[in-house]
């Protein structure tokens, strides 16, 4: 079996998540979170789309973790994000975290908006 070391460059992966929190690079983040090439940042949630829209020029895909279960995104929110040029993928927060880590390890231009479980 051949093992390859994964290099995450500058952006750290999601170490873990749980009720109300995320652990990124050993640091605990509580509440909604945005992960991008700028690193993790606290987020106010769906009422604050500006930080997500600001990612449009450096991001090919935006993963949205909707919480414990996948939930529909309000039509106006989706349309606003897509008008900004973002490709949006909606999923539960757990799958969003795992997919983010895989795509990050592949060097993709991605970001995530995550609502805690």
With a cut of 60, say whether residue 7 has pLDDT above it: no
> If we measure between CA atoms, which residue out of 8, 42, 37 comes closest to residue 25?
8
Mean pLDDT of 21-44: 96
Q: Residue 18: count other Cβ atoms within 10 Å of its Cβ.
A: 10
| Calpha distance 30→24 (Å, rounded) | 11
> If we measure between CA atoms, which residue out of 110, 45, 94, 40 comes closest to residue 73?
45
Under the banding of pLDDT at 50, 70 and 90, the label for residue 8 is: low
Residue 102 corresponds to which tokens in the numbers above? 């895989």
Query: What size, in residues, is the chain?
Result: 117
Q: pLDDT digit string (tens) for 49-62? A: 999 999 999 999 99
Q: Kindly state the helix (H) or strand (E) to which residue 30 belongs, with its residue range.
A: strand 27-30
Phi/psi of residue 92, nearest 5 degrees: -65, 160
């Amino acid at each position: 079996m051949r093992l390859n070391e994964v290099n995450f460059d500058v952006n750290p992966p999601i170490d873990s998540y749980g009720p109300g929190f995320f652990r990124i690079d050993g640091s605990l983040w509580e509440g909604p979170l945005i992960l991008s090439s700028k690193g993790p940042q606290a987020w106010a949630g769906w009422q604050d789309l500006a930080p997500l829209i600001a990612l449009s020029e450096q991001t090919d895909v935006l993963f949205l973790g909707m919480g414990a279960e996948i939930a529909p995104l309000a039509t106006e929110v989706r349309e606003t994000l897509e008008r900004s040029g973002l490709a949006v993928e909606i999923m539960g927060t757990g799958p969003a975290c795992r997919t983010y880590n895989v795509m990050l390890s592949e060097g993709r231009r991605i970001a995530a908006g995550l609502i805690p479980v």
